[in-house]
């Protein structure tokens, strides 16, 4: 597939054109050559099924006109547990490539499990304590698999900047932590969640919802809004108001609703905190989160 002519970065890259690479080693050669020639490299890791949330990450990545943007499209088997939706996760590769082309992306990395992991992978990243709460408590091993593939992507692409959506807030916190603790030479940028006009956070898993389930799913963002409004009344008020909204949606089966510090430790007494929710709605498991500012209202209402 690496048919582009050599333009300053060896084969596999042509400025202004989109080239798809399935071999990580080939893409690695291209991004190293581009960096050596003075270009910055920005990475948007995805599992495909691109929606407006991903396009926003790409647009932010392109804001630096000197940057070449790499989008990875890989449904990573390592971050799906038994009984999860790996098999039916939406795969829309041709449309994804077209969307990347329309957005001016120049490099797409679309490895197979074989080209990504090789025949007998043994070594993984361990997400530690922060990876065992919230999503980690419901999806054991998920964050180990996610961090492993993200570390591999960082090592393949060697980006200056990698962009991730805040919708997967715990994922973002863990990636930042991995970058810090493992001394990775990459800046990690979080981008606010993109929502439908009625508040539903964009997610590839929304595709599984029928009309009625989609209506019920609005309970998640509505709960976050109610919780955030209750911030001045303190943590108890936040959780009470958010829980009331979720309780009114019988089709929403809540896995957790938790208020935590911005780094996912215990919620502070005052100031910025994060309200996080996960729930099953019909065939989908959905997550969402919001910033909450605690305190400031002495009446505690
Ligand atoms: O957020 C995702 O789509 C995935 O978890 C990621 C970061 C691409 C790793 O597979």
The model's pTM is 0.95
**Is the beta carbon of 45 within 6 A of some atom in ligand 1?**
yes
Contacts of 142 (CB under 8 A, 6+ apart): 79, 80, 81, 131, 135, 136
Binning pLDDT at 50, 70 and 90, where does residue 4 land?
Answer: very low
264's torsion region: left (phi>0), alpha (psi -120 to 50) or beta?
left
pLDDT tens by residue, 216-262: 999 999 999 999 999 999 999 999 999 999 999 999 999 999 999 99
Distance CA 160, CA 158 (A): 7
Return the residue whose CA atom lies nearest to atom 8 of ligand 1: 46
Catalytic residue among 21, 42, 54, 142: 54
Atom of ligand 1 nearest to the CA of 175: 7
Atom of ligand 1 nearest to the CA of 204: 3
Query: How confident is the model over 279-291, as a mean pLDDT?
Result: 97
Ligand 1 centroid, distance to 37 Cα (angstroms): 29
**Is the beta carbon of 149 within 6 A of some atom in ligand 1?**
yes
Query: Is 168 annotated as contributing to ligand binding?
Result: yes
Binning pLDDT at 50, 70 and 90, where does residue 298 land?
Answer: low
Return the residue whose CA atom lies nearest to atom 6 of ligand 1: 46
């Amino acid at each position: 597939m690496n048919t582009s002519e050599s333009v300053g970065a060896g084969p596999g890259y042509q400025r202004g054109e989109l080239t798809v690479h399935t071999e990580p080693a080939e893409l690695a050669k291209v991004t190293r050559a581009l960096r050596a020639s003075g270009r910055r490299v920005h990475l948007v890791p995805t599992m495909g099924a691109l929606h407006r949330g991903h396009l926003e990450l790409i647009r932010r990545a392109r804001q630096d006109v000197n940057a070449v943007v790499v989008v990875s499209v890989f449904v990573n088997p390592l971050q799906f547990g038994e009984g999860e939706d790996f098999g039916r996760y939406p795969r829309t590769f041709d449309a994804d490539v077209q969307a990347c082309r329309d957005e001016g992306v120049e490099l797409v990395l679309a490895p197979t499990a074989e080209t990504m992991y090789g025949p007998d992978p043994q070594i993984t990243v361990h997400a530690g304590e922060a990876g065992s709460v919230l999503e980690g408590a419901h999806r054991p091993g998920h964050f180990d698999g996610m961090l492993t593939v993200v570390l591999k992507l960082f090592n393949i692409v060697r980006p200056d900047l990698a962009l991730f959506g805040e919708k997967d807030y715990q994922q973002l916190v863990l990636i930042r932590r991995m970058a810090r603790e493992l001394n990775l030479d990459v800046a990690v940028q979080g981008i606010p969640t993109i929502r439908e006009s009625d508040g539903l956070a964009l997610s590839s898993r929304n595709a599984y919802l029928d009309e009625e389930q989609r209506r019920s799913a609005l309970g998640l963002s509505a709960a976050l809004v109610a919780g955030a409004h209750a911030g001045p009344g303190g943590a108890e008020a936040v959780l009470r108001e958010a829980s009331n909204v979720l309780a009114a949606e019988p089709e929403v089966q809540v896995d957790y609703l938790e208020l935590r510090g911005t780094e996912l430790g215990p919620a502070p007494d005052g100031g910025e905190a994060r309200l996080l929710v996960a729930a099953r709605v019909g065939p989908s498991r959905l997550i969402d989160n919001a910033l909450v500012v605690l305190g400031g209202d002495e009446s505690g209402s």
